[in-house]
Structure formats: C-alpha cells, structure tokens
Amino acid sequence: MNETMNTILNRRSIRAYKEDQLKEEELQTIIEAGKFAPSAINEQCWHFTIIQNKELLHKINKACKEIMIKSGNKMFAERAKDENFSVLYNAPTFIIISGDEKAVAPQVDCALAMENMFLAAEAMNIGSCWIHAVINLLGTEEGKALKEELQIPEGFAPYCSAAFGNKAADSSKAPRKEGTVTILR
C-alpha cells in the first residue's frame, strides 16, 4: 500500500509513553508538518506551544486532575483520584496549538495542523494522542495564569492539545463506523 496511506491507517491514539524525550530533529519535523497544514486564506493563524519542561508538565497534569475531581462526573473524578493516572499519559512532549481568534477559521486551521503533526509523528513511529482536558483547563479562571505562563499570545485561544512521545504500548485499532459515506455519481 502507498506509504502515506499506511501512515494514516497505522496512526492510533497512544496512551502509554516511554520516558525518553523526542530527538530535536524529530520535534522539528513534527513542527514543520504542523506549519505546512492548509489554512483559510493562508492566514496561518496558529501558534505552537511545545512543552517539554517536566515541572510544567506535572503542573498541567495536576491542574487537569483537580478540574476532573470538581467536574461532578463520577467516572472522571474516580480516574483523577488515582495517583498513577496521568491526563497526559506521562508523555515527555506536549503541544498546544492556539489560533488567532480574529482569523477566519482558527479552530479548523489548528485542527488541520494538529492532524499533520500526528501523521508526521506516526511516519517516524512516534506516538501521539489528542488530550482535550488541557483545552478545557485553559478556558477556566484557574487556567488563565497558566495560559500566561505558557506565553500563549494575546488574542489567541488554545484549540488543540496533544501528547507526543515514543510509544510504550500500541493501541488497539478503534473500529470505524459504517454508513458515514454518501457518494453521489
């Protein structure tokens, strides 16, 4: 099968990571892939925040877990109370993509950039997983200070966030739904 198609079909959301950090060249390749996503009227309205600082990763994980405990959702709360559970799956690299809120379609642009990054990672056998809890966190009052600490530019909103790292375990193939396609000829 075509190499690109293989990469698309093999990418899975990975939820267990090795401790070792990505090589600088690998990180730069992933960033480059994000930057080369299409964007509405080529605005490239994105800003990429790469977090590899262990203390910061720990802080984000802790803040997300606190929100999960307070959420009122019993399942989330139970999960978050487990000391061994990491919202970021202990990944060594975490990437947030924020978009200029005044752009034409920032949410779409950022999501396309993130998928490009997922595929570039998979092409190097690097795992990735979208983690939405961090976007929820950054939208809260508690998340405001963190947004500043992460140096997310003024007027930009975080839309996508994901873990990246070397895979410690593969994920099973998530089945795809039937009946989601209409072809009109």
Ligand X SMILES: Cc1cc2nc3c(=O)[nH]c(=O)nc-3n(C[C@H](O)[C@H](O)[C@H](O)COP(=O)(O)O)c2cc1C
| Contact footprint for ligand X (CB under 6 A) | 12-13, 15, 129-133, 171, 174
* Closest of 161, 164, 157 to residue 113, by C-alpha: 161
Based on CB atoms, which residue is closest to ligand X, 57 or 185?
Answer: 57
Answer yes or no: are the C-beta atoms of 161 and 44 closer than 8 Å. Answer: no
Based on CB atoms, which residue is closest to ligand X, 175 or 185?
Answer: 175
Alpha-helix runs per DSSP H in 126-185:
133-138, 141-149
Based on CB atoms, which residue is closest to ligand X, 15 or 59?
Answer: 15
Based on CB atoms, which residue is closest to ligand X, 23 or 70?
Answer: 70
CB of 120 to ligand X, least distance (A): 15
CB of 51 to ligand X, least distance (A): 16
CB of 184 to ligand X, least distance (A): 27
CB of 76 to ligand X, least distance (A): 10
Alpha-helix runs per DSSP H in the chain:
3-10, 24-35, 54-70, 74-81, 106-123, 133-138, 141-149
* Closest of 53, 19, 49, 56 to residue 166, by C-alpha: 19
